[in-house]
Amino acid sequence: MGGRDATMVLLDENGIRCDGRKVDEPRRIMIKAGGLKNADGSAYIEFGDNKILVGVFGPRDVHPKHMSNTDTGILRVRYHMVPFSVGERKNPAPSRREIEISKVIKEALEPAVMLDKFPRTAVDVFIEVLQADGGTRCAALSAASVALADAGIPMRDMVAACAAGKVADTVVLDVNNEEDQAGQADMPIGYMPNLEKITLLQLDGVLTSEEYKKCVQVGVDGCKIVYDIQKKALQDKYFGNGGD
Amino acid sequence: MGDKGIFICTAELLPLSHPTVETGPPGPDVIELARVVDRGIRESHMIDVSQLVIEKNKSVVGVFADNVVVDYDGNLFDACSYAATAALLSSKTPKWNWVDDAPTLAEDEETPVPIATIPVSVTMGKIGNHIVVDPNGDEWASMDSRITITSDSDGNICALQKGGSDGFSQDEINQCGEISIRVGAKIREKLKQAQTVGQ
């Protein structure tokens, strides 16, 4: 998208990044399970300056009917950015980028959900990005997993997601918007820690084959941090005093 | 931003390419295809867009690579990617000069597209516990998940996309990275032939 010129200091001599983080430090992450009254399950995530709300409906009847599958339930995902989520107003109609992200998030969640017990039904996941600051697909995927769990959908594992990347020739965890625009590579990763399976993986930017392996490792480690926060969000709602 | 030219790569599936393809606006699969093919070429910096400037901050050249699928047999990611890459390697663009504050076509002059590297995408499908390179139509229909990895002439990985409704282990991801560089190097030699056609 943006240019790759590095006028900003992305990484100083002490290994501190443009927003004050260390190379292996994610941004502040807050996840709240529940919150929406009408949805069967929901979650809200703040991932740095990203703010994303996810609502889940289902398993429920499929409309249009021809989309239904007699062997299994189907998962449908819509990733959408509200017009005020970015600096310049975004046209509310779904862009090609949003359609692609909806698809990769759907495919990242599919290995986790067990919908074979609900044939002819659909589970709908609606993701609304309220404020975007780089790495929305990872934050959205993490929140969507919590929302699916909150909806009581049987799952093999939760998908945790975090991006790794390369900034100023260094592999870093959780690339923010500035680093994405001016950095050298961005690799969003979705990972199921219990099954040790990577379910979302994308990359843009040039990496050597060693950096590539390191990036995957750093990203997977980041996902494990996110996973603990996801579990805590569910514990807070169902076993703590954060319920509603 | 007027110091860089424009590069856009697209892909579309014609209804005559397969019985299941319908007319109408592109679905998520085709949108993903076009975006992954574009990203592979763009992120490898195959085209040196800084050389596509006619006059800084005034006028730049745009290069379009449009893929049209006429007959389908799986793995369109690689098919479209190689087609676009080969076309770019063999194309000649008209030469433009900046004359009297306007871009002016130089008669009978052509320049090759400025090429910096040759990206090669390699798509692998996972069927059960097996990983197959370049899944054909039948394999494509039956595989659990896929991964497309693009590498450049220096053997660096520059773009990647996982798809399909299953996951990969970290070892498999690393293995696929190595396969893509190794297989990509062989295919790059074939693509280089396109360069000779253009000269």
pLDDT at A69 (0 to 100) = 95
User: CB A207 to CB B158 under 8 A?
Assistant: yes
The values of phi and psi at residue A71, to 5°, are: -90, -30
Q: B4, B7, B31: which to substitute to probe chain A, counting the most A Cβ within 10 Å?
A: B31
User: CB A206 to CB B169 under 8 A?
Assistant: no
Q: Work out the angle between the directed axes of helices A209-238 and A136-150 (0-180°, nearest 10).
A: 40
- Chain A nearest-CA residue for B40: A204
Where do the structural domains in chain B lie, given as residue ranges? 6-197
**B31 touching A (Cβ < 8 Å):** yes
Q: What is the share, in percent, of chain B residues with pLDDT greater than 70?
A: 98
Spatial contact of A174 and A2, defined as CB atoms under 8 Å apart: no
pLDDT at A7 (0 to 100) = 62
**B161 touching A (Cβ < 8 Å):** yes
Where do the structural domains in chain A lie, given as residue ranges? 29-238
Domain B6-197 fold is Ribosomal Protein S5; domain 2 (3.30.230)
**pLDDT at A131 exceeding the cut of 80:** yes
A170 three-class SS: strand
Rounded Cα distance between A137 and B93, Å, is 38
Spell out which residues of chain B touch residue A202, defining contact as CB-CB under 8 Å: 160-162
Rounded Cα distance between A186 and A203, Å, is 6
pLDDT at A4 (0 to 100) = 45
Dump pLDDT digits (tens) for B134-184.
999 999 999 999 999 999 999 999 999 999 999 999 999 999 999 999 999
Rounded Cα distance between A140 and A44, Å, is 9
Measured at the alpha carbon of residue A129, what is the angle toward residues A123 and A133, in degrees to the nearest 5?
140
pLDDT at A240 (0 to 100) = 81
Assign B121 a pLDDT band (cuts: 50, 70, 90): very high
Spell out which residues of chain B touch residue A206, defining contact as CB-CB under 8 Å: 43-45, 152, 156-158
| Cβ burial, residue A203 (10 Å; 0-12/13-18/19+) | buried
Assign B198 a pLDDT band (cuts: 50, 70, 90): low
Rounded Cα distance between A112 and B100, Å, is 62
The per-residue DSSP string of A203-215 comes to: EEEEE-HHHHHHH
- Chain A nearest-CA residue for B5: A3
Spatial contact of B1 and A3, defined as CB atoms under 8 Å apart: yes
In whole angstroms, how large is the CA radius of gyration of chain A? 18
User: CB B43 to CB A206 under 8 A?
Assistant: yes
**B8 touching A (Cβ < 8 Å):** no
**B147 touching A (Cβ < 8 Å):** yes
Buried residues in B142-167 as b, exposed as e (16+ CB within 10 A): ebbbbbbbbbbbeebbbbbbbbbebb
Chains A, B: CB pairs < 8 Å: 103
Dump pLDDT digits (tens) for A206-234.
999 999 999 999 999 999 999 999 999 99
Among candidates A100, A206, A216 on the partner chain, residue whose Cβ is nearest the Cβ of B152: A206
pLDDT at B86 (0 to 100) = 96
Residue located via tokens 């390191």: A214
**pLDDT at B59 exceeding the cut of 50:** yes
Domain A29-238 fold is Ribosomal Protein S5; domain 2 (3.30.230)
Assign A3 a pLDDT band (cuts: 50, 70, 90): very low
Among candidates B28, B34, B173 on the partner chain, residue whose Cβ is nearest the Cβ of A216: B173
Q: Average model confidence (pLDDT) for chain A?
A: 93
pLDDT at A2 (0 to 100) = 44
- Chain A nearest-CA residue for B175: A213
Beta bridge partners of A51: A46, A131
User: CB A209 to CB B178 under 8 A?
Assistant: yes
Rounded Cα distance between A121 and A62, Å, is 5
- State the number of CA atoms in the 13 A half-sphere of A104 facing the CB: 29
Q: Label each residue of chain B as H, E or C.
A: CCCCCEEEEEEEECHHHCCCCCCCCCCHHHHHHHHHHHHHHHHCCCECHHHHEEECCCEECEEEEEEEECCCCCCHHHHHHHHHHHHHHHCEEEEEEEECCEEEEEEEEEEECCECCCCEEEEEEEECCEEEECCCHHHHHHCCEEEEEEECCCCCEEEEEEEECCCECHHHHHHHHHHHHHHHHHHHHHHHHHHHHCC
Rounded Cα distance between B174 and A94, Å, is 34
Rounded Cα distance between A135 and A48, Å, is 9
Dump pLDDT digits (tens) for B29-57.
999 999 999 999 999 999 999 999 999 99
Spell out which residues of chain B touch residue A102, defining contact as CB-CB under 8 Å: 28
The values of phi and psi at residue A56, to 5°, are: -120, 135
Dump pLDDT digits (tens) for A155-204.
999 999 999 999 999 999 999 999 999 989 999 999 999 999 999 999 99
Residue A47, CA distances (Å) to A51, A230, B143 in order: 7, 12, 34
Rounded Cα distance between B81 and B188, Å, is 12
pLDDT at B166 (0 to 100) = 95
pLDDT at A224 (0 to 100) = 97
Spell out which residues of chain A touch residue B177, defining contact as CB-CB under 8 Å: 209, 212-213
